[in-house]
Structure 1
Amino acid sequence: MTGAPPRADWPTPEQVLLLQSVRADPCVSLLASTRPAPRMTEADAATLERLAADATVRLAGDGRVGSDLAGALAETVARARSGPTGRGIAVFVNPVVREVVRLPVPVTDRVVVDPTFATRDLVRTLHRTPRHLVLLLSDREARLLEGVAEDLRPPPRSPFPLVADGVSRDAFLRRVDQALATHRRLHPAPLVLVGAERTVTRFRRLSRDLDRLAGTVTGSLLRAPLPDLVPREREVLDAYLLSRQDEALALLDRRRSRAAVVEGIDAVWLAARCERPEMLAVEEGFTYPARLSADGDFLTPAADVDHPDVVDDLVDEVIETVLLRGGWVALVTDGALAGRGRVALTVR
């Protein structure tokens, strides 16, 4: 029997936080768009090799450390080439880390050599294609799926699927609700309900665990092929994510009336370090290479990104600072913060 082709595993919040916590000079990040495939295509491999060669040139001035990292980078790229791909890939290497992360979203091909890893595309993945749960319901059966991007599969450990086994409809739906609550306590995530309108309506009335309900898909789809289900549940999830952007922009307006908002990269960078950050809103396409002052508080924009004194993208650093200091991040569409410097921070 032929096994299914390997599938890419997407980044988890725990993995992203771990990569963000790393501080070592240098940290090498390679990011490239790829074509979904069970094994990386030759064209994508050539792109990754080109980026690795660029990084090796930039490491050449770091003596023995640079030489060792160049070797580690070559080994990690070779490992990435042998595995499956999504729509993007990230390779992270420093003296102790050798990490390959597949992404369900395309990225801008680039090399970053900084004291930290370039994780913004991973953060964007978590925001735009978050892990979520899909509960498929009928009066007599319930299935649970875990989704990231266009990938749906049963979670590795859960009490599902469930079958009614002769009990009444309401008793069964309460049992489903209890099992769902148990799973979501361990694995919190937005939820999409799928089922006939009558069943979903009744479940919503009985349930005690519908926080972060992204929405519902109406139809008898318990046995529907997953490729048919994905676009329907994705439409619901996209609307939910758009409402989160609106929520972030509304929070900016409320905090502005209390003089608790700073705007523009210079002010945001200083406030993220010196005040108590609450929520960072930043346009997805905004990047800002810069030099830091000796005390780290002030920025000078830079065009010579390859220079070792230049931080390739201060926006990545701001995102990491806000998350590490207990704030949350909203990536908004380009233009949503027009006139506000493309980035804004609310403070407590």
Structure 2
Amino acid sequence: MTHEDLKRIQSYRGYPALSLRVRTHRRMPEAQQDPTRLKNLIRHAEKVMLEREISSAVVHDYISRLDLFHRQLDWRYLDEGLCVFVAAGRLAWVMLPEPVEETVVVGETFLTRDLVRVASRTPRYHLLVLSEQTTRWFQGWGRRLSEETGHGFPMENHEDSHDPPEGFNKGVDPKSYANERSKVFMRRVAETARAHINNEQAPLFVAGVDRLQALYRETAGEDAISGSLSGNFDEHSPHELAEALSPEVERWQQARRRTVLERFQEVKGTRNGVAGLREVGEAAAMARVDTLLVESPFSVSGSYDRETGRVVTVANGGESDMAPDDVVDEIVETVMERGGNVVFYQDGRLAGASIGAILRY
């Protein structure tokens, strides 16, 4: 799942928007029951929609598409959770690397809290695999990597000969010539990568032999690289690359959490930082939130107006089959819709605040 995928799902507005969450499994024998779980949830979704007095034609359309999705899904390659989103003329689905609570929700928007939480816990990143011949570009999400084709990648080095051309100055060391050719290629790679990333905040990791990494850094700069793998990875598969890179990504993620928390502690109580549900809700509605900090189990039933920031809490409320009633979920989605970042923490890390924000202004 890319950030663009998440934004498309979050941006939908229209009734009825149907969200299904089902627990799935990676391995047998638990995975044997996954098709039955989803089938039962589809039947429950049909019942919920009819109870909401949604027209039978709409219900039939939604359930028919869900049944087709059920038949076509490759059950061999699932993860720990599956989210399915259905609306007029569309069906989207996302696999999640952690379990979800089985739920059917009908509302004016899709229920995306699990996606947002996983997107925060499971970092999205870029991986550039440097090579003298073909440099490859990958999009990463946790332990999943997929190679991108486009935006100049994969990039071929069409002048990768280590030997000087005929007529080249005989006094020049061929190794110097080869190094210059590599430098030109790495400069082209760095410039293309910079244009591709543009203003994205996803980190960039680089894999390749030390010599190529040094040449790449000369153009890209140290600040452009969040971590690296040393070695020749020309023949590595996406799965092998993801496994090798995992410790580097984890180190980056832990460092980012520490940095964000330290910054929040510095600005909390000033005009650049707020804590508390209502204060954060107001700032989110005004698009003032640069980074939202949330303790992972924090949840509040009620309603949230994304335009005014007004928060109304409901004592002892619970998740219903109607529109999502988790105020925290609504604030998280609002922040992400308006270009902010979200970072989740373990319970107690925010020193009693449960939710806080670093503000843009």
TM-score computed with the length of structure 1 as normaliser = 0.81
1:77-88 aligned at under 5 Å gives the runs 77-84=67-74, 85-87=77-79, 88=81
Query: Using the alignment, how far apart are the partners of 2:338 and 2:239 within structure 1?
Result: 40
Q: Is the 8 A contact 1:144 1:154 kept in 2?
A: yes
> Deviations 1:246-288 (Å, cap 9, x if unpaired)?
2221221232152433323333223322572232111233333
User: Is 1:34–1:44's contact at 8 Å kept on the other side of the alignment?
Assistant: yes
Measure the CA separation in 2 of the matches of 1:48 and 1:287.
26
- Shift of residue 113, structure 1, vs aligned partner: 2.6
> 1:144 pairs with 131, 136, 139, which one?
136
Going from structure 1 to structure 2, the CA distance change for 1:281 and 1:35 (only over 3 Å counts) comes to same
**Aligned sequence identity (%):** 26
What whole-Å deviation, never above 9, does each CA across 1:170-228 have from its counterpart, x for those lacking one? Answer: 43133123224314423454222223334433432x22265542211123333345544
Between the two proteins, the alignment pairs up a number of residues equal to 331
Q: 1:44 to 1:141 in 2, by over 3 A?
A: same
Which contiguous aligned blocks of 4+ residues in structure 1 show a shift greater than 6 angstroms?
A: none
TM-superposition CA deviations, 1:127-172 (whole Å, max 9, x none)? 344443323335x345314133333343222142436223522431
1:171 corresponds in structure 2 to 181
1:196 aligns to 2:209 (yes or no): yes
Indicate how the Cα distance of structure 1 residues 170 and 289 shifts in structure 2: closer, same or farther if over 3 A, else same.
farther
Q: 1:49-128 alignment to 2 at 5 Å?
A: 49-65=39-55, 68-69=58-59, 71-84=61-74, 85-87=77-79, 88-128=81-121
Which residues of 2 match residues 193-272 of structure 1 at below 5 A?
193-204=206-217, 206-208=218-220, 211-224=223-236, 226-256=238-268, 258-272=270-284
Question: Given that residues 107 and 324 in structure 2 are in contact (C-alpha distance below 8 angstroms), is that contact kept between their aligned partners in structure 1?
Answer: yes
**Alignment correspondent of 2:174:** none
User: Conserved in 2, the CA contact under 8 Å of 1:279 and 1:346?
Assistant: yes
Give the conservation status (yes or no) of the 8 Å contact 1:181–1:209: no
8 A contact 1:133–1:191 mirrored in 2: yes
- Work out the CA distance in 2 between the residues paired with 1:222 and 1:304: 51
* Residue 332, structure 1, aligned to residue 345, structure 2: yes
Using the size of structure 2 for normalisation, the TM-score is 0.78
| 140-149 vs 313-322, which moves further | 140-149
Distance 1:196 1:276 in 2: 43
Query: What is the SS of the residue equivalent to 2:226?
Result: strand
Deviations 1:292-312 (A, max 9, x none): 69x87232234343264x733
Structure 1: which 5+ residue stretches go unaligned? 1-10
Q: Deviations over 1:70-110 (max 9, x none)?
A: 64045225314522343232111233432222334443332
5+ unaligned residues in a row in structure 2: which ranges? Answer: 163-176
Counterpart residue number, 2:320: 306
2:7 corresponds to 1:17? yes
